Structure 1
């Protein structure tokens, strides 16, 4: 007769190797469930009907900017810490401040709103936030939101951007100051 060594099952490598794949799937599923619970659904609108009805008001603001022949040239300083805006068109009186919304396309937690203060002759300036690389939506509007100009800012490539009816999202990537 041949003697065999019998070890308990948990001391054998094969059961552990067979259990590792299902165990990995269970751990990954628990991590995914935890992340789904704690993260924000930034792209889901709470009141989609109201948001859809607001499109007509938005189009009205775009038409108002076109009727006034508004153009805005956005330019960053050499150190990219200050944003300078030059507003031209048939707008009198010029607002004392402008509101620039810099919106991330998919993550609303990364959005920024800058208040630009008048420096005279249609020129405005404000602090430029540190933006991550990528595509950013811009909305330039006065405090009472009678009109708006929109465009796309590509970080870090865009240094000068012209917004307006005559120059729809015309982007210059040169190194102008």
Structure 2
């Protein structure tokens, strides 16, 4: 008798728990701006092509409070600033944009705003020159990350 009554009661209790969880939690894996993200990706594909044609690569290192980047490529003039987007794989509110300034020795530096270690998509671009390089590494303090056009 307990099995006959217990299984349907357990199914009702489990169903109400799942319904409550579905209604009260945020679906963080779905981007609200998926259409805009897709359009901007195809629009900026020319930026990847330009980086590939100029053979632009970079090596980046992170510390707890700083990001340093060394840029190489066939550029007539290196940009004064670089924009770095650190895109969280699932949560849009954890995305960070950094601005790197060129130093006297030709490298770039900026303030790191993320906790390490962290897995992020890294997009380094130069809005003034119209190119972009990328990587998707596990960012750890002191580790060298290589970025290139994809």
Shorter-chain TM-score above 0.5: yes
In structure 2, the residue corresponding to 1:91 is in which secondary structure?
coil
User: Which of 44, 49, 60 matches 1:58?
Assistant: 44
TM-score, normalization by structure 1: 0.66
Aligned length: 146
Q: Would you say the 8 A contact 2:96–2:114 is kept in 1? A: no
Deviation at 1:52, TM superposition (A): 3.9
Q: Would you say the 8 A contact 1:118–1:124 is kept in 2? A: yes
With 53-62 and 110-119 compared, the bigger mean Cα shift is at: 53-62
Matches within 5 A, 1:33-112: 33-36=22-25, 39=26, 41-46=28-33, 48=35, 51-77=37-63, 80-112=64-96
Name the CA shift for 1:119/1:132 in 2 (closer, same or farther; >3 Å): closer
User: Which of 113, 120, 144 matches 2:104?
Assistant: 120
> Which consecutive unaligned segments of at least 5 residues does structure 1 have?
1-13, 169-177
**Distance in 2 of aligned mates of 1:94 and 1:40:** 42
In structure 2, the residue corresponding to 1:66 is in which secondary structure?
helix
Name the CA shift for 1:112/1:31 in 2 (closer, same or farther; >3 Å): same
Deviation at 1:160, TM superposition (A): 0.5
Q: Which has the higher contact order (CA 8 A, sep 6+)?
A: 2
Partner of 1:139: 123
TM-score, normalization by structure 2: 0.76
Partner of 1:25: 14
Partner of 1:149: 133
Q: Would you say the 8 A contact 1:82–1:125 is kept in 2? A: yes
Say which one has the larger Rg.
1
Q: Deviations over 1:34-71 (max 9, x none)?
A: 324xx2555244462x5444443222111101111211
**Distance in 2 of aligned mates of 1:145 and 1:112:** 22
**Distance in 1 of aligned mates of 2:38 and 2:19:** 36
Q: Deviations over 1:16-42 (max 9, x none)?
A: xx6974674365145314324xx2555
> Which consecutive unaligned segments of at least 5 residues does structure 2 have?
none
